[in-house]
Amino acid sequence: MTIIQAIAEYEGFNEPGTRAQRNNNPGDLDLEPWMASFGAVLETIPPGIHEQPRFACFPTVDQGWAALRALLTTDYLGMTVAAAFDK
């Protein structure tokens, strides 16, 4: 299992109906402006669910994976796992 897969597992991406899965967002990433290049928009919360929108929603799962990879290979490049968790 890779670090990216472990993050997705931890965020519940493999479980049907989770926020990460609904949003094609395996890292459960909060929406940031740089994610627009991956097609991200602010998530839409389904009726009856009492959550505040804050996460990125990607048009496809592949774009969600690509955004997670981009984040890890830029903002977290060269960090130890412990330092990345602290960040």
Per-residue confidence of the chain (87 residues) as pLDDT tens digits? 888 999 999 999 999 999 999 999 999 999 999 999 999 999 999 899 888 999 999 999 999 999 999 999 998 888 887 887 788
Structural domains of the chain, count: 1
Contact call for residues 15 and 21 (beta carbons, < 8 A) = yes
At residue 5, the pLDDT reads: 93
pLDDT tens, position by position, 56-75: 999 999 999 999 999 999 98
pTM listed for this prediction: 0.89
At residue 49, the pLDDT reads: 87
Structural domain containing residue 31:
3-86
At residue 64, the pLDDT reads: 98
Contact call for residues 41 and 3 (beta carbons, < 8 A) = no
